[in-house]
Amino acid sequence: MPAIINNDLRIFNSDAFTRAVAAVPTYLFIGKESTWVNENNPPVPIDSNLQKTKLYKDIVAIKKVVPSNIASVIPRIDWTNGNIYDEYDHRVNLIDDQSPDTGNFYQLYVVTDEFNVYKCISNNGRVASIVKPTGSPITPFQTADGYVWKYMYTIPAIDVFSYLTNDWMPCYTIDVNDGTAQWQVQQTAIDGAIDHIVVENGGSGYDPVTPPDVVIVGDGSSATATANVDNVTGEIKSLTITNVGSGYTDVSISLQNTNGGAGFSSTAILSPIGGHGYDAKSELGAIHKMIRMELSGDENGTFPATSYRQAGILSMPLSTDTGSKLFFNNKNAVLFKTGQLVTGQSSGATGIVRYIDIDGKYLYVDNITGAFIQTETVQNSISISAPLNDISTDVLIPEISLVSAKSGITKRTGKFLYVSNRTVITRTVDQTEDIRVIISF
């Protein structure tokens, strides 16, 4: 039974990762002060239990990742004078497949030196692009070299610094009106539009003085086009869209009043679901996340001035502190918030909420005075209460500090989500480092 994992599922999972980071303590770690066998050629990490044991042993320190440290990214493709870019085609996988014309991955979009991002709607029969697209028009536009471009978004200055690298560029679909042209592009996108028609066979014998009429038939409405006929050969060189129409999912194109011409065939290229520019992350394939972390000096004494050779992502490490784990029926743990003082109504015991289970089933509580009693009601300072179902005492509490040295976390706890072996990086107490991690889904 043939099946695939769609790119939209990969984007969904990448966004779910960001949401999980907001709920589950997740950390950048650095580690391995000891040398590699070949310092100039670190080994490829192996996902084995032996490596995990070594990773736990070699951790130096950790720093908490928050959603603002994470951005959706796509491979960076710069607009360069003289390059040929691939045009959008609704019939192929433009994200994972390779272009039959080049044997390389499709170059569907570009970023310019003004940090504007454009999608190529037509490459004018695969000619070189020699006119840089500019501006932020809402509708597709043609440049003097015959290319048709769709403005998608502009990378904000802060993200140029944080997430634009030689290899990667940020990608967005926005949910609220932020005052940018991208919001207007999203709001005015036309579902089922015909912005381009590929002429597969221009035929011959058509009258350039009285071109044939273009007839567009399908399940949408209002699309119109005109034919451009070669003055010498009578071949139809292209069709000019005069109205993109809307709502098309199936289209056929024919000619009337041909005056003896014959042999023409073409395919209408339909917009993605929602229209061009409606969902840039889906259209451009934002199946990657970049985590950018800044290590500032010794992070108040937590990150030592040392050499390290590994960096990665560690989820849900446990601290060396202990407390109680309070279980609730009906996911009532979500009634409370971290940092709140909670009190047992029968025992009078108090504690501070350290961590709330993402599923709302339990609280980790520390700084406890007294002893909570199983099945008593627990209340916070604003009179929200819920009955306990069970309790575990003297359990390790999840690490939630912004930074922590190795001594502050319990050995062999947490899950390694990503590991990168690197050439040696030597830290000093007065330097700042940017560490970027790419996770692909």
Residues 331 and 394 in one domain: yes
Query: Residue 344 falls within a domain, yes or no?
Result: yes
**Together in a domain, 92 and 208:** no
| Judgement on whether residues 120 and 249 belong to the same structural domain of the protein | no
Residue 130 has pLDDT above 90, yes or no: yes
CATH number of the domain within which 294 lies: 2.60.340.10
Q: Is the pLDDT of residue 1 over 80?
A: no
Instruction: Specify if 393 maps to a domain.
Output: yes
The pair phi, psi for residue 313, each rounded to 5°, is -120, 130
pLDDT above 70 coverage of the chain, percent: 100
Q: What pLDDT does residue 175 have?
A: 94
209, 219: one domain:
yes
What pLDDT is recorded for position 287? 96
233 lies in some domain: yes
**Which of residues 330 and 267 earns the better pLDDT score?**
267
Q: Tell me: do 357 and 375 sit in the same domain.
A: yes
390-420 pLDDT, tens digit per residue, is 999 999 999 999 999 999 999 999 999 999 9
Q: What is the pLDDT of residues 37-88, one digit of tens each?
A: 999 999 999 999 999 999 999 999 999 999 999 999 999 999 999 999 999 9
Residue 410 belongs to what domain range?
7-70+290-316+402-440
On whether both 105 and 152 belong to a single domain, the answer is yes
Query: Does 301 share its domain with 433?
Result: yes
- The band of 437, judged by pLDDT with boundaries at 50, 70 and 90, is very high
pLDDT at 2: 79
Number of domains in the chain: 4
Res 133 pLDDT > 80: yes
Same domain, yes or no: 87 and 54: no
Q: Do 134 and 225 reside in the same domain of the chain?
A: no
Token digits for 414? 């947490």
Which pLDDT belongs to residue 381?
87
Q: Measured between alpha carbons, how far is 320 from 322 in angstroms, rounded to an integer?
A: 7
Residue 2 counted as domain residue: no
Per-residue pLDDT of 230-257, as tens digits, reads 999 999 999 999 999 999 999 999 999 9
pLDDT in tens, 414-434: 999 999 999 999 988 888 889
Give pLDDT, residue 212: 95
Q: Answer yes or no: is 1 within a domain.
A: no
| Residues 348-374 pLDDT 10s | 999 999 999 989 999 999 999 999 999
Q: Do residues 280 and 152 both lie within one domain?
A: yes
Q: Over the range 264-294, which residues count as b (16 or more CB within 10 Å of their CB) and which as e?
A: bebbbbbbbebbbbbbbbbbbbbbbbbbbbe
Q: What pLDDT, on a 0 to 100 scale, did the predictor assign at position 5?
A: 84
Which of 241, 270, 299 is a domain's end point? 270
**Residues 171-206 pLDDT 10s:** 999 999 999 999 999 999 999 999 999 999 999 999
**Is 380 found in the same domain as 427?**
no
What is residue 383's predicted lDDT score, i.e. its pLDDT?
87
Is residue 247 domain-resident? yes
Residue 257, pLDDT score: 93
Average model confidence (pLDDT) for the chain? Answer: 94
Say whether both 150 and 114 belong to one domain.
yes
